[in-house]
């Protein structure tokens, strides 16, 4: 799969009235200087004799227009969106450097967002074979929490950031509204922009206090092939990094500034880790980097608009911004085409061997690459495998095509896909011929009959085993009773032969022995009944799941408490025993049972006294 580096476009805003500018930041464009490279030079604030040079693919000075930036760097990416690829454009820079103006603009000078929407709708006529629909979602990250801007901010809950089975990051419960025209989008966007968190500081009277992410999704349904291409463009207006010594923030603004600076710091850590080929990329350290994960080392095409300010007080911030841009231009993405097959797939037999789907046709899309030659400040990128989770290619729903910039590779992959598909057709024919000409329904019926017969056989064996154990237990009890009755009959005769006693002396003893024998029999019968009940309870407990056992045990404990309070101690004791059969390993229940038995014993002693 071909890689695509993040493109960089640097823009220097004009000087604001009252701002001190010593012209230490200069923009050199290839067309102006007669060279084949654009770059920005900045005088080192610590050593004025040293000048830093930052080469980028696109550089714009103070006189640049919104249309110029859009036509040169943004518009070529809209063709990529219509090929089913995700594009992410984000503006980065210090506070009051012109990020929001570049992305939103004004009515007289519309920015990137309104121009993108207008051109996307205009491009529909060039794709008449598709049934195209648009949808929009808008969110902000405020103090590292995600909020939906398309709902009323007073009722807007914090939204969780999650990851699906294919490794794609998304925001759960985020509102997505369909749009049918540019006017409908303008109405929705203007209303939602009023919900965004904005505050005044010494450096910017309308400073953005949150990161805003606008997503426009283009769904293209091909009725002929019954497939859907889904292109996305994420337009991100990042909050600016702030120097609290200059902003004059109050405590609430300081908390917002701390959250902004922390998220931007994590963004720099992610870029650094990607350039170093680290084994762990800290995407999860911030909600911002989680949402930009696809644009930084992921499967989308990325464009960073680097906004810088010309004032002396912004000199160090300008250097930090340009250094971040230099590191970002070395980040490699591996774009994929988001394609979904809408045709219903035949249900495979459960015994069928799972096969990999045929390779999808690579997308032959030409994208301009950022230049990295003559760049003394960049770190040479090493070929490495991306550590961002790839979109899953298993199954036919929500599958992704590999993104390729080489037309020859397209034909080679197409030939390989055809060969593999033919091999799979032959394998499926062989598998059906081995089925002894049975339909799937007949196979399922036979399998169900065999399963039912096996279950019935095992149940019958279990019942027979239980009956056999019960019969053995009864025989042992009868033998023990017979031995006890025989010994009781033989012992009086032997004593009668040895010693002759007067008549009437043994009558009270025999009567008392008979009473004890009857009481013993009653106790044995009671024990047998309890044993039978215990066996039934154990059988029932074996059938239940662990959760059901706990619930049943708790129910018996609650009943035992109720009967104990009423004074039905024997019933409560039986209920505690039943509860113990369901949760035999519960130590607290055993301790409670022991205490209850002691309580019953003490009560009996009190009654007898």
Residues annotated in a binding site for ATP? 93-100
> Which helix (H) or strand (E) element contains residue 373?
none
116 and 233 Cβ atoms separated by less than 8 Å: yes
Asked whether 142 and 237 are in contact (CB, 8 A), the reply is no
- φ and ψ at 58, to 5 degrees? -140, 130
> Could you tell me if 83 and 405 are in contact, meaning their C-beta atoms sit under 8 angstroms apart?
no
Distance CA 502, CA 509 (A): 14
Minimal CA–CA distance to 153: which of 183, 116, 193, 189? Answer: 193
Distances (CA, A) of 177 to 48, 196, 323, 348, 373: 53, 18, 38, 36, 44
Strand, helix or coil at 491? helix
Residue 34's contacts (CB-CB under 8 Å, 6 or more residues apart) are none
Sheet holding 51-56, edge to edge: 25-28, 38-43, 51-56
Do 329 and 370 form a contact (C-beta atoms < 8 A)?
A: yes
Q: The dihedral of CA 484, 488, 493, 499: what is its sign?
A: positive
Helix 569-582 / helix 587-608 crossing angle, nearest 10 deg: 160
- Rounded-to-integer distance, Cα 148 and Cα 156, Å: 6
Looking from the CA of 134 toward its CB, the CA atoms found within 13 Å total 21
Distances (CA, A) of 59 to 5, 32, 88, 212: 17, 11, 19, 24
- Greatest CA separation found in the chain? 145
Instruction: Measure the CA–CA gap between 6 and 570, rounded to whole angstroms.
Output: 79
CA–CA distance, 86 with 496 (Å, rounded to integer): 109
* Annotated binding-site positions: 93-100
């Amino acid at each position: 799969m071909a890689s695509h580096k993040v493109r960089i476009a640097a823009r220097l805003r004009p000087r604001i009235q009252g701002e001190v500018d010593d012209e230490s930041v200069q923009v050199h464009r290839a067309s102006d200087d007669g060279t084949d490279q654009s770059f920005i030079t900045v005088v080192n604030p610590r050593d004025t004799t040293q000048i830093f040079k930052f080469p980028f693919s696109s550089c714009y000075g103070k006189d640049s227009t919104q249309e110029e930036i859009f036509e040169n760097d943004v518009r070529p990416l809209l063709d990529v969106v219509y090929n089913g690829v995700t594009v992410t454009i984000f503006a980065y820079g210090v506070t009051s450097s012109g990020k929001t103006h570049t992305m939103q603009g004004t009515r007289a000078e519309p920015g990137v967002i309104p121009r993108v929407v207008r051109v996307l709708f205009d491009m529909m006529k060039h794709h008449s074979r598709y049934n195209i629909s648009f949808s929009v979602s808008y969110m902000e990250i405020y103090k590292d929490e995600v909020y939906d801007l398309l709902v009323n901010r007073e009722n807007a809950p914090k939204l969780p950031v999650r990851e699906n089975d294919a490794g794609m990051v998304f925001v759960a419960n985020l509102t997505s509204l369909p749009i049918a025209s540019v006017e409908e989008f303008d109405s929705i966007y203007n209303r939602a922009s009023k919900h965004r968190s904005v505050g005044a500081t010494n450096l910017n009277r309308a400073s953005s206090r949150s990161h805003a992410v606008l997503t426009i999704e283009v769904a293209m349904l091909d009725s002929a092939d019954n497939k859907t291409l889904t292109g996305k463009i994420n337009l991100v207006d990042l909050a600016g990094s702030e120097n609290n010594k200059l902003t004059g923030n109050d405590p609430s603004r300081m908390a917002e500034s701390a959250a902004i600076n922390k998220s931007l710091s994590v963004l720099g850590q992610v870029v650094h880790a990607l350039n170093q080929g680290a084994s762990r990329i800290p995407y999860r350290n911030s909600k911002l980097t989680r949402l930009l994960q696809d644009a930084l080392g992921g499967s989308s095409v990325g464009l960073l608009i680097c906004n810088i300010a010309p004032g002396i007080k912004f000199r160090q911030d300008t250097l930090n911004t340009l250094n971040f841009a230099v590191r970002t231009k070395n980040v490699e993405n591996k774009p994929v085409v988001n394609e979904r097959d809408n045709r219903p797939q035949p249900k495979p037999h459960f015994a069928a061997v799972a096969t990999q789907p045929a390779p999808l046709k690579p997308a032959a899309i030409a994208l301009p690459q950022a230049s990295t030659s003559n760049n003394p400040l960049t770190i040479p990128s090493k070929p490495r495998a991306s550590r961002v989770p790839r979109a899953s290619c298993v199954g036919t729903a929500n599958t992704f095509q590999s993104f390729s910039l080489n037309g020859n590779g397209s034909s080679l992959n197409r030939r390989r896909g055809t060969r593999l598909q033919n091999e799979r057709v032959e394998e499926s024919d062989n598998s059906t011929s081995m089925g002894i000409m049975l339909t799937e329904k007949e196979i399922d019926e036979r399998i169900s009959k065999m399963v039912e017969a096996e279950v019935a056989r095992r149940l019958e064996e279990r019942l027979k085993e239980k009956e056999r154990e019960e019969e053995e237990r009864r025989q042992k009890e009868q033998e023990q009773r017979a031995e006890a009755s025989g010994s009781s009959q033989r012992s009086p005769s032997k004593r009668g032969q040895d010693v002759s006693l007067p008549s009437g002396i043994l009558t009270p003893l025999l009567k008392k022995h008979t009473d004890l024998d009857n009481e013993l029999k009653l106790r044995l019968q009671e024990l047998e009944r309890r044993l039978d009940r215990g066996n039934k309870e154990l059988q029932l407990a074996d059938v239940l799941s662990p959760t059901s056992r706990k619930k049943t045990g708790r129910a018996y404990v609650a009943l035992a408490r109720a009967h104990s309070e009423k004074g039905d101690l024997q019933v409560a004791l039986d209920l505690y025993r039943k509860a113990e059969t369901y949760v035999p390993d519960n130590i607290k229940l055993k301790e409670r049972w022991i205490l209850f038995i002691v309580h019953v014993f003490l009560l009996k002693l009190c009654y007898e006294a």
